[in-house]
């Protein structure tokens, strides 16, 4: 069924201080802790956070130097960097329970490279990547602006530009599309934790300039549809107000619902887990296809079986916007990038401590960094794609 040309579409984001994002940040901090000590460490760590309590659970294979105390210290540091020093959730006084054990030998034997067997995928699953021309980052516009609003508020909080906002926040942006292109916001919702004694109208005026700065000129919604703290009060927040778990914000992490999602979360997983690495590879390929001008929209699906080194399927859909044959594109993309777990890790340089920074404001649509962070956002395949297809 064809997409309508005129419609409204909404995406949401949550801040680094949202309970689930606190857990994602802690889990990814543990991944970085292990990869900094051993680039080939195996990590699958989940986090639960509630009132002054954090529990880490999962499986690892890495240096003995990464003790339960080291993991506890890393968790506290992550909470501190987010900014939680509140009575109900404090980086110093929260109880941190570490229930992490060695990786299952049954999993390890399927993943490890031995003899003539290449490294296999860390699990079965399907992964999707997506890119479109709606924003310079080649991301869907509603999610792109939702992330940017919260990132701006967080930067203001960390810098001291505002002293009234807390770490926990959510945003939601609804855009009107005309002829398939976003043209304006019809509503904006921001809920942000704030200090005692600040009223709803004051919070509204603190938030307003950050929204107006992010949205393109003339896109701001009308006043009745600009919702700030609709309940009127948001003092108790973070894990003290709502239990958090790793991996519950997978749509926030990817494309805001504008594209399919395979179902697997990213945070807390080392790059042998294709839930993470293959999703990054799929985004990388889709972004390069769009950046090369071969399509205005591109969705890529990869599928894997645990212990098997090659993808079981590669699917490309340009949603009627493609300038080249999709079947040929499938073939060319696999020639340009080895999509085995090892091939993805090596091509994108994923065996590095680069993951804590991905835990909030999206894994995609970010700028590649000098130390290898967000390497999947590079567009270095564009010259080869243009040459191959004569674009």
273 is in an annotated binding site: yes
Q: Report angle CA 86, 92, 93 to the nearest 5 degrees.
A: 75
Decide: residue 218, CB within 10 A, 0-12 exposed, 13-18 middle, 19+ buried.
Answer: exposed
Is 265 annotated as contributing to ligand binding? yes
> Do the annotations mark residue 18 as ligand-binding?
yes
Closest CA to 147 of 214, 87, 100, 193: 214
233 annotated binding-site participant: yes
Max Cα separation, the chain?
67
Is 357 known to sit in a ligand binding site? no
Q: Is 64 annotated as a binding residue?
A: no
Q: How far apart are the first and last CA of the chain?
A: 29
Pair 265, 250: CB distance under 8 Å: yes
C-alpha dist (Å) from residue 41 to 44, 59, 240, 279, 310: 10, 11, 33, 20, 21
55's enclosing H/E stretch is strand 53-61
Ligand-binding site membership of 169 (annotated): yes
60-to-104, 267, 287, 306, 333 alpha-carbon distances in Å:
9, 14, 32, 17, 33
Q: Is 234 annotated as a binding residue?
A: yes
What's the chain's length in residues?
A: 391
Task: Consult the annotation and say whether 128 binds a ligand.
Answer: no
59 in a known ligand binding site: yes
Determine whether the annotation assigns residue 275 to a binding site: no
DSSP class of residue 66 equals S
Annotated binding-site members for K(+): 46
Annotated binding-site members: 18, 20, 46, 59, 103, 168-170, 233-234, 242, 248-249, 265, 269, 273
Annotated binding-site members for L-methionine: 59, 103, 242, 273
Annotated binding-site members for ATP: 18, 168-170, 233-234, 242, 248-249, 265, 269
Annotated binding-site members for Mg(2+): 20
């Amino acid at each position: 069924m064809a997409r309508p040309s005129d419609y409204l579409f909404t995406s949401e984001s949550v801040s680094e201080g949202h309970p689930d994002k606190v857990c994602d940040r802690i889990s990814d901090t543990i991944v970085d802790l292990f990869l900094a000590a051993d680039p080939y460490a195996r990590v699958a760590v989940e986090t639960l956070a509630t009132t002054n309590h954090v529990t880490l659970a999962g499986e690892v294979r890495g240096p003995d130097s990464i003790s339960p105390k080291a993991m506890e210290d890393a968790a506290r540091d992550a909470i501190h960097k987010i900014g939680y020093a509140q009575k109900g959730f404090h980086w110093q006084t929260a109880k941190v329970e570490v229930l992490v054990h060695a990786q299952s030998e049954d999993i390890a034997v399927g993943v490890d490279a031995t003899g003539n067997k290449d490294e296999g995928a860390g699990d079965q699953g399907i992964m999707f990547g997506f890119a479109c021309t709606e924003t310079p980052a080649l991301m869907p516009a509603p999610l792109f602006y939702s992330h940017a609003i919260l990132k701006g508020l967080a930067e203001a909080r960390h810098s001291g530009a505002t002293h009234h906002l807390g770490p926990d926040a959510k945003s939601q942006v609804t855009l009107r599309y005309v002829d398939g292109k976003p043209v304006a916001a019809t509503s904006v919702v921001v809920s942000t934790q704030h200090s005692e004694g600040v009223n709803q109208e004051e919070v509204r005026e603190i938030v307003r300039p950050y929204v107006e700065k992010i949205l393109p000129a003339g896109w701001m919604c009308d006043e009745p549809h600009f919702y700030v703290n609709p309940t009127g009060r948001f003092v108790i927040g973070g894990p003290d107000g709502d239990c958090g778990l790793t991996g519950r914000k997978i749509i926030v992490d990817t494309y805001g619902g504008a594209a399919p999602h395979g179902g697997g979360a990213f945070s807390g997983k080392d790059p042998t887990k294709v839930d993470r690495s293959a999703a990054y590879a799929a985004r990388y390929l889709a972004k390069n296809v769009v950046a090369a001008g071969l399509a205005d929209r591109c969705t890529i699906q990869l599928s894997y079986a645990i212990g098997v080194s090659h993808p079981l399927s590669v699917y490309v859909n340009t949603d009627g916007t493609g300038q080249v044959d999709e079947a040929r594109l499938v073939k060319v993309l696999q020639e340009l990038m080895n999509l085995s777990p090892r091939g993805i890790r090596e091509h994108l340089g994923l065996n590095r401590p680069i993951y804590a920074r991905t835990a909030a404001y999206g894994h995609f649509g970010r700028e590649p960094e000098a130390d290898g962070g967000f390497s999947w956002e590079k567009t270095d395949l564009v010259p080869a794609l243009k040459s191959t297809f004569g674009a």
